Chain A
Amino acid sequence: MTAILKKELSSYFKSFTGYITAAALVMISGFLFYLRTIYYAEQSAIMAGAPPGMAPNINFNKAILASLPSTAIFIALFFVIPVMTMHIFAEEKKTGTLEMLFTYPITEMQLIAGKYLSCLAAILPGILLTGIFPFFLIKFMPGMDLGYLAAGYTGVILACMAGTAIGMWASSLSGNQIISCIASVGIFLLLWLIGGPADLMTGPFSEFLKAASFANNMENFTKGAIELPSAAYFIGIAAFFIYLTYYNLASRKWRG
C-alpha cells in the first residue's frame, strides 16, 4: 500500500491539476468571502444608525463563518472532487496498468486504500485553505467564534471523505475519465438535492429524504455543532462506496 500511496501522491504533486483546482477553489472562496464581508460591513453600518428595535438582526459568526465551509464543500463536490478522482482507476483501466497491478503481490483493498488516501491527501489541503480568510479579521472582530469554523470544517473533511469515495467508485466503472466525472457529479447532484422535495411532504419518507441529503447533513455542521448522526452519515457513505469500488475491481475474478 505504501508504494501505491507514494506513487499516487507524487503524481498529484507532479501534475498541475491539483494546484490549479486548489488555486481556483481558494480564489472563488476568497472572492465570496470578500463579498459577504463587505455586505456584512454595510449592514452593520445601517444597524448602527437604525433606531432601536429596527436594526437588521445579523451575526458575523452565522453570516460569514458558517458560509465558508458551505461554499468550500459545494465547490469541492461539483468541481474539485470529480476532477481529482476521475482518473483514479479509469486511467489505469484504459492503459492496462491495472492488469499489471493485479498481478503484483497487492490485494484489491491495499490498492484502494493507497489510492483513496493519497487522493484525500491531495484534495484536503486546498479545501482547508479556504478557511484561512477569517483569521485575517480576528483583530477587528473580537466576538468571532472560531468554533463555527472548526465544526464546519469537520463537516467538510467528512463530506470530502464521502465525496472522494463516490468519485473513486465512479472512476472504477469504466476506462473513460469523462464518464467517471459525469457519473460522480450526477451522484453529488442527486444527494445534494434529495432533501429539497422533503420540505413539500410529511411522514417517514420525508424524514428519510432529509436524512439522506448531503446538504442537510452538511448544514448540521455549519450551524456550529458536530452532529454524530451526520458524521455517521458521511462515514457510512464513504465505507459503502469503498466497498462498491472493491466489488467492481474484484468482479473480474468471477466475470472474467
Chain B
Amino acid sequence: MIKAEELTKYYGQKCALDHVSFEIKKGEVVGLLGPNAAGKTTTMRILTGYFPPTSGKATVAGFDMSSDPLSARKKTGYLPESVPLYMDMTVEEFLFFAAEAKGLKGGTIKERVKKVIEECNLPEYASKQIKTLSKGYKQRTGLAQAIIASPEVLILDEPTVGMDPNQVIEIRDIIRRLSENSTIILSSHILEEIAKTCSRIIIMNRGKILATGTPEKLSEQMEKSDKIYFELKGDKDKAAGIISSEKGISSCRITEDEKADNGSFGIEAISEKSPEIRSRIIKALAEADIDIYQMKLEKMNLEQIFTEIVKKGGTEKK
C-alpha cells in the first residue's frame, strides 16, 4: 500500500532523509518512532505529496507520488502535527469544505460528514466554531478531516502530542477503530504510544532507519544484550569508568546516587551476552576497592530498547 524506495531529502545542504526504504502492506498500522529531527515529518510529507524527495521514489495506494500525486492524494488522509484548522468555521462547515476539496460530490458529502462526525464522537460540537473547542476536540476535528474521503491510507503526524492522558486514550481508540478500514502510518517520539497502537515499528534517527519490526521482534533483537544492574559503594566516577571501559559494554549510566541507608549507589550497563564480561568487571571493581553490594541481570523494556537502538545508530554514524 505504501512503498518508499531509497528516499533522500536535502534541505539546502542539510540531509534530512538518507536513503530510506520501507514497505507497508494493506491493513497494517505502522509507527514511525524517533527523536526530534529524526526525519519522521519529512517522510510523511513526501508520502502525502507535500513535496517530492530529492531522490528516490514513493508509491502510495499504487500511485507514484512524483508522476501522479493528485490520484494518490485522493486516497490519502493526512493530519499534520500542528493540526491546522480554519478557526472561524464550524466543525460541520469545515468538514463540508474538506469533503468537497477532496473531490466528493453531491449527496455523498452530506452522508460522509454525518458519518465522520459520529466516528470521531463530535455530534454535540458539529455546529460549534472550531476556535471554541478544546485541544482534544480540535484534534478530533483534524482527524475527521483526514478520514472524510474514506482514505485507503491514513498518515498521522504525532496525533497525540500535547494531550492529557484521557484525550490520548480517546484518540488511540479512534485510531484503532479506523485501522479496520485503512492502512495507517503514524509518528511519535514516545515509544509507549506506538507500541499500544501499532503492529509494526520503524525506528528512525538522523534521517535513517535504524530498526524495524514488531514490538516483540525488537525485544527479541535486543535480547542479544544484557542489562546489568550494580549496587556499589565507593568512588562513583571511578566505578562508572571501570564498567564503561570494559570491552563489550555499550552503555553505562549512574541510576541512583548515594542511598541514605547504606551509602551505596546504582549503575546500569548494557552489555553483550557474556558471563566473562561480568566476571572481569567484578574483578576490576574489587581491585579498585569498590564494594559490590548487588549485581543482577534485568529484562529490557521497549523504551530502553528504543534508546539503545537510537544510541547505537548515533554512534555508528560518528
On A, residues with C-beta under 8 Å from B are 2-4, 6-7, 10-11, 14-15, 95-107, 252-253, 255-256
Given the known inter-chain contacts A96-B82, A103-B76, A105-B74, please indicate yes or no for A256 contacting B50, CB distance below 8 A: no
Which B residues, 70 to 84, have Cβ-Cβ distances below 8 Å to chain A?
A: 70-71, 73-74, 76, 78, 80, 82-84
On B, residues with C-beta under 8 Å from A are 9-12, 16, 45, 48-52, 54, 70-71, 73-74, 76, 78, 80, 82-88, 93, 97-98, 100-103, 145
- Given the complex, which residues of A lie within 8 Å of B74, measured CB to CB? 105
- Interface contact A6-B11, CB-CB below 8 Å: no
Rounded to whole Å, the gap between the CB of B41 and the closest CB of chain A is: 10
Rounded to whole Å, the gap between the CB of B116 and the closest CB of chain A is: 16
- Given the complex, which residues of A lie within 8 Å of B78, measured CB to CB? 100, 103
- Given the complex, which residues of B lie within 8 Å of A103, measured CB to CB? 48-50, 73, 76, 78, 80
- Given the complex, which residues of B lie within 8 Å of A256, measured CB to CB? 9-12, 16, 51, 54
- Interface contact B51-A6, CB-CB below 8 Å: no
- Interface contact A11-B103, CB-CB below 8 Å: no
- Given the complex, which residues of A lie within 8 Å of B71, measured CB to CB? 105
Given the known inter-chain contacts A103-B49, A256-B11, please indicate yes or no for A6 contacting B84, CB distance below 8 A: no
- Given the complex, which residues of B lie within 8 Å of A100, measured CB to CB? 78, 80, 84, 145
What would be 7 A-B contacts, judged by CB atoms less than 8 Å apart? A6-B100, A96-B80, A96-B83, A103-B78, A104-B98, A105-B71, A106-B70
- Interface contact B86-A253, CB-CB below 8 Å: no
| Chain A, Cβ-Cβ closest to B9 | A256
In the assembled complex, the Cα of A10 lies from the Cα of B86 at a distance in Å of: 12
In the assembled complex, the Cα of A201 lies from the Cα of B7 at a distance in Å of: 58
- Given the complex, which residues of B lie within 8 Å of A105, measured CB to CB? 70-71, 73-74, 101-103
In the assembled complex, the Cα of A97 lies from the Cα of B249 at a distance in Å of: 48
Rounded to whole Å, the gap between the CB of A220 and the closest CB of chain B is: 41
| Chain B, Cβ-Cβ closest to A101 | B101
- Given the complex, which residues of A lie within 8 Å of B86, measured CB to CB? 7, 11, 95, 97
- Interface contact A104-B50, CB-CB below 8 Å: no
